[in-house]
Every structure is written in C-alpha cells, then in structure tokens.
Amino acid sequence: MVLKTFTLEFNGAKEEITYEDDIPFGDMEVIIKKCVDLTDVTKPKVNISEYRRRILQSVLRKAPFTHTDPVAISKLPRKTAEKIIAEVMTDYPLAGCLEGWMTSFLGSAVITDSLQTPTPSVPVSSDGIKKPQTDKDKNGSKEQSQQQGNSSQTQ
C-alpha cells in the first residue's frame, strides 16, 4: 500500500489529502458486501453513494475533516467531496471490484463477454428501417386499397 497525496482548496485554504492506494482484501470484501445486493447475481444492485463513502472512510489517512465519520463526509461541500472522490476512486473503480466478485459466481468468460457486449439504447425494430412516407406513397396506398376493395366486390 502506497500513500498518495493531493492538494485541494478547503474552507479557503490549500489542504493536503492523503490516502492509501490499496485496501486490505477483507476490508474490500466487507465494503462490497454492504454496498451490493446480489439477490440476482446476473443483475447486481449497487448503492454507489454508500460504496464511495465507505471507501473514503477506509482509505483516507489525512484530511482537514474527520474522515472516519460518515456524517462529516456527508456534510462536505459538494465540489470538495467530488474532487476528493474523483482522485481517490481512480484507485478503487467499482467496476473492477465487481468484476472480481462476479467472476467468482459466473466465471471469467461470461464476465468478459458481458462487459464487452454493448447494450442498445434503442430497441431494434422487427419491421426494419422505416422511411417517411411521401405524398406519392400515401396516394399509392389509397389507390391500392381501393383496387383491393373493388376486386373483393367482384368476386
């Protein structure tokens, strides 16, 4: 574990924040267990705010606030908290942690495939690509309907 330090402005003064770039395995297991609902292993539900707060509580070593107190972390100014989280979370990406957990359940091939398979944002139409109708198309459809109506009357 290496201590990393960065500086940010806190209450009008430049302050140093120091954190550990790695966390003991058991501590990370506890954090994941408390922040992830694996009722359906294929669709884990994650409490991201809880994850970020617990990581900060666990890895911060020096900060101008009581970093072990969840209330103190919650009361940080939003911009300050976001800067701290952005810096610290580079070493604790949730996706990487979850990937290890999911591999334990599903195997590495399934996880790799699911992480690389894009999810479409628009459902695929079974009718193919629809083109806007022109006046000619609309008139042609009316004529076809009339012709079909006439032919059914003659039969």
- DSSP for 86-155 reads HHHTTSS-HHHHHHHHHHHHH-HHHHHHHHHSPPPSSPPPTT----PPPHHHHHHHHHHHHHHHHHHHH-
Is the pTM of the predicted complex or chain greater than 0.75? Answer: no
Query: How many CB atoms are closer than 10 A to CB 45?
Result: 10
Contact 100, 36 (CB under 8 A): no
Amino acid 52: pLDDT: 94
> What share of residues in the chain are helix, strand, coil (percent, to 5)?
50, 15, 35
pLDDT at 113: 53
Q: How far is CA 147 from the centre of its chain?
A: 56
Q: What is the pLDDT along the chain (155 residues), one digit of tens a residue?
A: 799 999 999 999 999 999 999 999 999 989 988 998 878 877 878 899 999 999 999 999 999 999 999 999 999 999 999 999 999 999 998 887 777 766 766 665 544 555 555 555 555 555 555 566 666 655 555 555 555 555 555 55
5 bridge partner residues: 18
pLDDT of residue 108: 58
Check residue 143 and give its pLDDT: 54
The residue among 16, 17, 98, 23 whose CA lies nearest residue 59 is 23
Phi-psi region of 149 (alpha: psi -120 to 50; beta: other; left: phi over 0): alpha
Tell me phi and psi for residue 18, to 5 degrees: -120, 135
